[in-house]
Amino acid sequence: MDDKLRIPAAVKRAWGDRVTTVFLRQGKFAHGPTVLAAYPLADLTVERIGNPLDHDLPALVAGQRTIPSSPEVRQ
């Protein structure tokens, strides 16, 4: 979980499907098209630091990925 998209991208490259990456879309570069185009999206994107509490994170970790559909979620 990080607010710099390059961090989840690097972790995903190293760990592959063994990790669920989360992008905290906050800060001045979080919506920048250059940054968003430079890296693959994380498995889950949340708009605020408290939003992960809205998702079933144990299900994500277990690989079920059946979380509520929303525009921020990639399944």
As a whole number of angstroms, the distance between CA 38 and CA 50 comes to 26
Q: What does the pLDDT look like over 47-59, one tens digit per residue?
A: 777 766 766 767 6
**In a domain? residue 35:** yes
Q: What does the pLDDT look like over 8-18, one tens digit per residue?
A: 999 999 999 88
**In a domain? residue 32:** yes
The CATH number assigned to the domain holding 47 equals: 3.40.50.1000
Residue 33 host element (H or E): helix 33-38
**In a domain? residue 54:** yes
Q: What does the pLDDT look like over 18-41, one tens digit per residue?
A: 888 888 888 777 888 888 899 998
Tell me the two tokens of residue 44.
């889950």
Alpha carbon 22 to its chain centroid, in Å, reads 3
| Residue ranges making up the domain that contains 31 | 6-61
**In a domain? residue 21:** yes
Number of domains in the chain: 1
Q: In the chain, what is the straight-line distance between the N-terminal and C-terminal CA atoms, in Å?
A: 17
